[in-house]
Amino acid sequence: MSDAANGESKFGFKDKEKAEETLQLLESHDMQYRKLTVRGLLGRAKRVLTMTKAEEKVKNINSAIEVFEKWLEENGGGAANKNAKTDKEDKVETVPGLGFKDKAAAEATLRILQDRDPDYQKLAIKGLIGSSKRVLSGTKNEDKIKSIQEGVKILEDFLEKFETENLIKNNRAYLAYSVIEQLPEPKDELAAEFVTAYGGPKAKGNYKHLRTMYPADDDSTSWDIIRNRNIAKLMEKLKAEEAKLFDAESGEPTEIHLELIHWAYSPQPDKVKSYLEKSLKKKAEKRKVELNDSSSSDEDDREDDDDDNGETPEKKKRTE
């Protein structure tokens, strides 16, 4: 894979070395530019992963992704979605119950993370493994050390499988709430409740809050899990029916595509945004025409009034 395919020729993500070189090259730029560039490369790297099957390439790109993710975390730019606020600006609650103190705690952690966003699964597991190393360095009790090591082994095995099977490809990036609200409202009650929660006063469009938010009738399954399960069902249906994502004539999202969008996901997000931009442009042009027609009509009415207020032929004749 050439650097050109990975982005700009001087920036790239083909492996760890290229990622580190990219960060060095970016040091001469201002921090905002560096963050935007790294986020962009990170997003492209994850998309490339979904299309890459060669194990060695997958491993190399994952190594580059780790470099970029670590840099973003260290530099306060860890929000994966540019439409969402950073955790520093918008305090996000931690998913409860995650741990590594022993085998049981690690197994419970994997159950809690099941069906959550793959990128969060990876982030959470790596975070726990990192924390365990710090805890182990300050622990002298042999029984505790053994228990922690057993727990960490389970987490490391999960992470190894995650990387080997390239499970990050199953990540369903969130559509911004600002995109969803421009489209017809959901007919499904649960989807409608999800959209309300996503754009509501707590989440405010920051998808990370959905990890600790729940539907009114279910306080055991968080919205992120419900979302992923519904997306999985819809994607299976889409594949089975060989359905289209967009109407061939109007270009608008099809019914099943709208259902996906209501769960903050689209296989073709850029095309959805393009459709909305074109729709807004058409509406603006239509409004402009209507305003012009209205102005012309008003002008005609005024001219008619002027004619009525002037002398009629009969009146003019009598005056003469």
- Please, which residues have CB within 8 angstroms of residue 137's CB and are 6 or more apart in sequence? none
pLDDT tens readout for residues 176-224: 999 999 999 999 999 999 999 999 999 999 999 999 999 999 889 999 9
Pick out the chain residues at pLDDT < 50. Answer: 1-8, 79-88, 315-320
pLDDT tens readout for residues 41-64: 888 888 888 888 888 888 889 888
d(CA 262, CA 267): 13
d(CA 93, CA 213): 10
Q: How far is CA 136 from CA 90, 105, 109, 117, 141, in A?
A: 32, 16, 19, 28, 10
pTM of the model: 0.68
